[in-house]
Amino acid sequence: MRISERAVLVVTSLLSILLLTLHITDDIVRGISKPEPANTALMVLVLFLYGTLVLAERRSGHVIMLLVGLFAVAMPVIHMRGAHYGEIARSAGGFFFVWTLWALGGVGGLTFVLSARGLWNLRRRQAGYAASAAPGDA
């Protein structure tokens, strides 16, 4: 993967994480989701950030960023099919709610595609390395 693509992947992943946290917070404030008493959501957030910022050049980082993209893309699909979507969209703060869904879908989709492409490129690079390092090629 070229450096510019990797940088774009990290930025889109970070944007997806930011939008996810804003959207989940909005869900909690509206009473759509219950506040998590156990710190499971916080641990997932730390894992997403660690994978994006520390493991960005590794396969595990790409897998984590793929999951970030998948979660981000899933939010609009889940909410826009809900029975109360129109009601929430017309309520106070509805613009922000709908905007974050659109932004999550777009940025999350790009994160998903870029991380899948990065995984593919890592696999191709490792296959090329394995073929060039085969015994008897000297």
With vertex at residue 122, the alpha carbon angle to CA 77 and CA 71, rounded to the nearest 5 degrees, is 15
Quote the CA–CA distance of 96 and 19 in Å, as a whole number. 11
More reliable by pLDDT, 35 or 133: 35
For residues 13-31, average pLDDT = 92
For residues 101-128, average pLDDT = 90
Side chain identity at 9, as an amino acid letter? L
Q: How confident is the model at residue 133 (pLDDT cuts 50, 70, 90)?
A: low
Q: How confident is the model at residue 42 (pLDDT cuts 50, 70, 90)?
A: confident
Query: CB neighbours of 21 closer than 8 A, spacing ≥ 6?
Result: 45
Quote the CA–CA distance of 41 and 99 in Å, as a whole number. 22
Q: How confident is the model at residue 67 (pLDDT cuts 50, 70, 90)?
A: very high
pLDDT of residue 117: 94
Q: Is pLDDT above 80 for 4? A: no
Q: Is pLDDT above 80 for 63? A: yes
* Cα atoms in the 13 Å half-sphere on the side-chain side of 89: 14
Q: How confident is the model at residue 111 (pLDDT cuts 50, 70, 90)?
A: very high
Orientation angle between helical segments 40-53 and 3-30, nearest 10 degrees: 170
More reliable by pLDDT, 104 or 41: 104
Q: How confident is the model at residue 34 (pLDDT cuts 50, 70, 90)?
A: confident
* H/E stretch holding 63: helix 59-80
Side chain identity at 102, as an amino acid letter? W
Q: Which two tokens stand for residue 46?
A: 């730390």
pLDDT of residue 102: 95
**Residue 2, SS3?**
coil
Q: Is pLDDT above 60 for 29? A: yes
Name the burial class of residue 127, with classes exposed (0-12), middle (13-18) and buried (19+) by CB atoms within 10 angstroms of its CB: exposed
